Amino acid sequence: MRRYARLFAVQVRASALLAMQYRVDFVIDGMLSAFSAGVALIPLFVVFTHRTSIEGWTFGEALVVTGWFTLLQGVLEGAINPSLTTVVDHIRKGTLDFVLLKPADAQFMVSTARFLPWRAMSIVTALGIFVLAFVRLGRLPSLTGVLLSLAMLVAAIALLYSLWILTVSAAFYVVKIDNLTFLFGSIFDFARWPSSLFRGVVGFVFTFILPLALMTTYPAEALLGRLRLSTFLGSLVAAVGFVTFARLVWKSSIRRYTSASS
């Protein structure tokens, strides 16, 4: 465990060094992430200029969902995406060999290979959105709400990461997964809306198969103090299940890689 903590530190250090090699990128990255967070709010303003609530969500409440969306998008783009796109590169160039030759877990090594620290700006933006939301609502979140929502944040990140690992595992089979990652990005975009907006088949898919609800709506409900205990526990179980499943798929993909490539 301590060994992996040290490895993690070394990997983060390398990412920080890389980020500093390109100072201009640093600044542009920061500006872009603030900009995209701002843009994320526009659809919400458009919808709520004509009505005061949609599907039982007031403007303030919907803002909380957007806050979570912004936060998770920051995590996705800053910590999950960059590492896992490097894996795809490794697979294509055959340099994954070097990762597999190392006496350290390959999934850990590739998952921590690259961070874009400037994307952490999204976290600041998200906090700003939360403040704005609770000002609109005219109250403060309860302590239990905050704690529950933090637990949900961990579950949401675990889930997002697992979905990414599953997408990347596909790269072992199809090699060119640019389209797949693009698809992933556009589906994730739906998470900016409260999940009760989606009905029927789509609603079912977003709740149980690609649990977008778990990523943004449930943490928002937790923060608003209205998440049911059963949903909370169910989410934790789902997160653990997804992490385990992703791990198994990754392992079998690696086996396939090592037994097939030349």
Partner 1 sequence: MITVRDLAKHYRVHERAPGMANALRSLFHRKYKTVRAVDGVSFEIGAGERVGFLGPNGAGKTTTLKVLSGLLHPTGGEVRVDGHIPQTRERAFLEKITLVMGQKQQLIWDLPPAETFELNRAIYGVSPADFRETISELTTLLELEELVKKPTRELSLGERMKCELAAALVHRPRVLFLDEPTIGLDVSMQVVIRDFIKRYNERWNATLILTSHYMDDVAALCPRVIVIDKGKLSFDGSLTDLVQRIRPEKRVVLRFDRAVSASEVEMFGKVVERTELSATLQVAQDAVREAVSGALARLPVADLTVESPPLEEVMSELFARSRSEREASA
- Which residues of the chain form contacts with partner 1 (CB under 8 A)? 3, 6-7, 10-11, 14, 17-18, 21-22, 93-95, 97-98, 100-104, 109, 255, 258-262
| Choice between 76 and 96, CB closer to partner 1 | 96
Q: Which is nearer to partner 1, 226 or 255 (CB)?
A: 255
Distance of closest approach, residue 9 Cβ to partner 1, in angstroms: 8
Separation between Cα atoms, residue 234 and residue 174, nearest integer Å: 33
Alpha carbon separation from 122 to 17, 74, 91 (Å, rounded): 21, 5, 30
List, in sequence order, the alpha helices (H) in 49-75.
59-75
Q: Which of 228, 251 has the CB closer to partner 1?
A: 251
Q: Nearest approach, Cβ of 161 to partner 1 (angstroms)?
A: 22
Which residue's CB is nearer to partner 1, number 5 or number 201? 5
Return the number of the residue (90 or 192) whose C-beta is nearest partner 1: 90
Pairing of the two strands 57-58 and 53-54: antiparallel
CB of 11 to partner 1, least distance (A): 7
CB atoms within 10 A of CB 125: 22
Q: If you search the block for the tokens 């198994």, which residue do you land on?
A: 248
Least gap, CB of 82 to partner 1 (angstroms): 13
Q: In whole angstroms, what is the distance from residue 203 CA to residue 74 CA? A: 25
> Minimum Å distance from CB 99 to partner 1?
9
> Smallest Cα–Cα separation from 151: which of 232, 209, 228?
232
